[in-house]
Amino acid sequence: MSKKKIIIIGGGFGGIAAAKMFRGRKDVEVLLIDKRNHHVFQPLLYQVATSSLTPSDIAYPLRSTFKNTLNVRVIMGNVVNVDHDAKKVILKSGLEYPFDYLIIAAGARHSYFGNDEWGKYAFGLKTIKDALTIRERMLFSFERAERAENAEERNKHLTFVIVGGGPTGVEMAGAIAEIARQTMIKDFRQINPKDTRIILVEFAPRLLQVYPESLSERARQDLEKMGVTVWLNKAVTKIEKDLIHFGEESMQTANIIWAAGNQASPLIKVTTQRINRIGQAIVNPDFTILESDSVFCIGDCAEMTDANGVRVPGVAPAAAQAGRYVGKQILGELNGKLRVPFKYTDKGSMATIGKARAVAAVGPFKFTGFVAWLMWSLVHVWYLIDFRSKFFVMYSWMWNFLTQHRSVRLIVTLRDREMQ
C-alpha cells in the first residue's frame, strides 16, 4: 500500500495541531509548508510589540517542533495555487507537490476595508515582523519627542491611536499605557507623562463584543483608569501621514495601530468559489470546501458554523480544535470510517488589560482584576510550546512585574529612510 500524502499549508495553531495527529503513522506522510520558518504564539504577539518579550520567547522553528517526527517534512515556501484536478499545490518558486488530502490553515492578514493606502501609516499585528515594526516605530517616536523643538511636534509623537476594540486592540492599548505613562517616562528629560495620549477607537457601542456586556464595561473602566481614552461608536474615515480622520474631526498622531479588520489569506480565493466578504472559505460541516472533499480549510481562513449552529470564533484554541478534528477524520477515513460533523467546544475567552488587570469569561462564570490576570498568565504560559520559552517568559514577566522594567527596547530593523 502506498503512503497517503497529506499537505498542510500554514504552521499556525491549526496546522500544527493537524500535523501532530499524524505522528508515527506509517501509512501517511505529511508535508508542512509555511512562508515563515517558525510558529508564532499569536496571543502574546502584542507583548513583543510593546517590548515585554523578545521574538524568540514566543516563536519557535517549525522544523524543531517536528525534528523527531520522521513522517512530517517541513519546507519554507509560498503556496500560490491549488490544482484540484491534478491534486497538487504550486509554490511561487514553481515547485509542485502532489497530495491526497490538503489542509489549508493559512490564516489571515489585517485589512483596511478596501483602503490599502492606510497601511503605510496604520500598522497591523499578525507576524513577528509586524510586532517589531510597531515596537521600533513606537520607541523611535519617543526619541523624536525627546528631541522635538516645539510642543506640537512633541504631542504628535506622544499620541497613540489604536483602532479596533477587540482583544488585540484592548491589550495593545493597556500595554502602551503602561509603557508610555510609567516605564519610558523615567528615561527621558523632555517628556512629561501628562503629554502622552492613548486613544482606543471602536466603531461598535462597546469593547470586546463577543464577551458578556459586564466584562466589556469593566475593560473600558480599567483602561480609563490606566489613562486610556476610549472612544465608542466612532468610525475612522481616512488615514494620512501623521493624521487620522473621524468624519469632520481629525487628530495629529505619528502612531496608529490597526486592530480593526482581517482578510483571509489570498490563497483561499484561488482555491474555492464559496467565500465570504473577508475572503474566508465558507466550509462544509467537516471543514471541506465546496469543490473537493479532500481539501479542508481551517482556522482564520475559514467560516464555519458547527453542528450545534455555533459560529466558530477566530481564536487559537478553535483553530487547534479544528486541526485535531480534521486529522482525526482523515485517519478515520483511511480505516474505512465515515466522517462526523464538527462540534466546537468553547473553553472561554480572556483578555489582559494591564498589570494585574484582565477580564475572562468561562462558561457562565466571569472573572475580572487580579484573578482574571493570574488565570490569563497561567493559561498562556502553559500553552507556550517548549520548556525554554516557558521559563524565559515567566522570568521576563516576573522581572517586569517587579521592576517595571521593559527588557527589550532596541531599535534595530527600521530602515534609515523610516528614521529621518
User: Rounded CA gap, 133 and 348, in Å?
Assistant: 31
User: Rounded CA gap, 294 and 287, in Å?
Assistant: 10
Q: Does 187 bind a copy of itself (CB under 8 A)?
A: yes
Q: Is 375 exposed, middle or buried (0-12, 13-18, 19+ CB in 10 A)?
A: middle
Q: Does 64 bind a copy of itself (CB under 8 A)?
A: yes
Q: Given the rule CB under 8 A, which of 125-133, 228-236, 279-287, 353-361 is the region that contacts a copy of itself?
A: 125-133
Closer by beta carbon to a copy of itself, 366 or else 409? 409
User: Rounded CA gap, 234 and 164, in Å?
Assistant: 10
Residue 171 designated active-site = yes
Exactly one of 20, 25, 55, 100 binds a copy of itself (CB under 8 A); that residue is 55
Please name which of 347, 388, 354, 383 lies closest in space to residue 368, comparing C-alpha atoms. Answer: 354
Q: Does 132 bind a copy of itself (CB under 8 A)?
A: yes
User: Rounded CA gap, 151 and 256, in Å?
Assistant: 19
DSSP 315: S
Exactly one of 5, 20, 63, 197 binds a copy of itself (CB under 8 A); that residue is 63
Exactly one of 120, 225, 238, 388 binds a copy of itself (CB under 8 A); that residue is 388
Closer by beta carbon to a copy of itself, 347 or else 405? 405
Among positions 197-226, residues that touch a copy of itself (CB under 8 A) are none
Exactly one of 5, 23, 61, 203 binds a copy of itself (CB under 8 A); that residue is 61
**String of b and e for 12-22 (b: at least 16 CB within 10 Å)?**
bbbbbbbbbbb
**DSSP letters for 255-283:** EEEE-S-EEE-THHHHH-S-B-TTS-EE-
Grid cell digits, residue 163: 483602532
- Size of site (CB under 8 A) for a copy of itself: 46
Exactly one of 67, 120, 194, 343 binds a copy of itself (CB under 8 A); that residue is 67
Q: Given the rule CB under 8 A, which of 57-65, 110-118, 255-263, 325-333 is the region that contacts a copy of itself?
A: 57-65
Q: Does 126 bind a copy of itself (CB under 8 A)?
A: no
User: Rounded CA gap, 378 and 392, in Å?
Assistant: 14
| Shortest Å, Cβ 287 to a copy of itself | 28
Grid cell digits, residue 101: 488530502
Q: Does 88 bind a copy of itself (CB under 8 A)?
A: no
Residues pairing with 34 in the sheet: 76
Active site residues per annotation: 171
Q: What residue ranges bind a copy of itself (CB under 8 A)?
A: 36-38, 54-56, 59, 61, 63-64, 67, 70, 73, 75-77, 92-93, 95, 127-129, 132, 139-140, 143, 146-147, 149, 186-189, 388, 392, 399, 405, 407-413, 419-420
